[in-house]
Amino acid sequence: MKNEPALTFRSSRLAARLAALEVELLAFITPYPSDLHGLPHLREVSLLAGFLADAEGQDVERAMVAGFLHDCERRDDGADPRHGERSATKACLLAPRLFPYLDAAAIARAIKLHAGGITTQDDPDAVLWDADRLTLVRLGYRVDPRRLSTSCAKRLVKVGAVDVLREHAAAAVQGV
């Protein structure tokens, strides 16, 4: 990826924000104890959502909060079709209390529908959905650009840069 210094700076800036969010949110949630859908995944999706939101001109903090909470009520690594709904309910309770300046309804809507496999033109939903989908390789799936909503995520897949972005996110998370 030709702009890696900017990516590294952006990753470190987002990682600093993630560290602060994590302190606030972990007082109220207990992530599922798993590398697939637990804390490492919440961190990665939060960072990727922040990266996509920044690239798409969206609210970075709202995206990162949604990313951190999107699987916060997951109960297993297999089929858990109601986890989005449960996680959205938790977000509705936490977001107004911890982040009253953010649109809690938008966060909850994005979380509730994130696992449906649909695409959207609604950018607040799109950045979360794409951030989560960019991590599907951890489950053995290939990222399908037809299932992505943001132009940034589609470009990342087209140029083969998803792995580079995920490596930067993983490096940034190690410092959290």
Average pLDDT (104-124) is: 92
Tell the burial category of 82 from Cβ atoms under 10 Å away from its Cβ (0-12, 13-18, 19+).
middle
Walk me through the domains of the chain, giving residue ranges and CATH numbers: 4-174 (1.10.3210.10)
Average pLDDT (40-53) is: 95
**Quick check: 165 and 156 in contact, CB under 8 A?**
yes
What's the pLDDT score for residue 9? 53
In this predicted model, what pLDDT tens digit does every residue of 57-66 receive, in sequence order?
A: 999 999 999 9
pTM, two decimals, is 0.92
What's the pLDDT score for residue 89? 98
> Would the pLDDT of 129 be above 80?
yes
Percent of the chain with pLDDT over 70: 94
What's the pLDDT score for residue 172? 79
In this predicted model, what pLDDT tens digit does every residue of 135-168 receive, in sequence order?
A: 998 888 889 999 999 999 999 999 988 888 888 7
Q: Which tops the pLDDT comparison, 147 or 176?
A: 147
Helix, strand, coil abundance in the chain, percent, nearest 5 = 65, 0, 35
Helix or strand run (H / E) with residue 54: helix 39-56
**Quick check: 105 and 98 in contact, CB under 8 A?**
no
Average pLDDT (88-115) is: 96
> Would the pLDDT of 28 be above 90?
yes
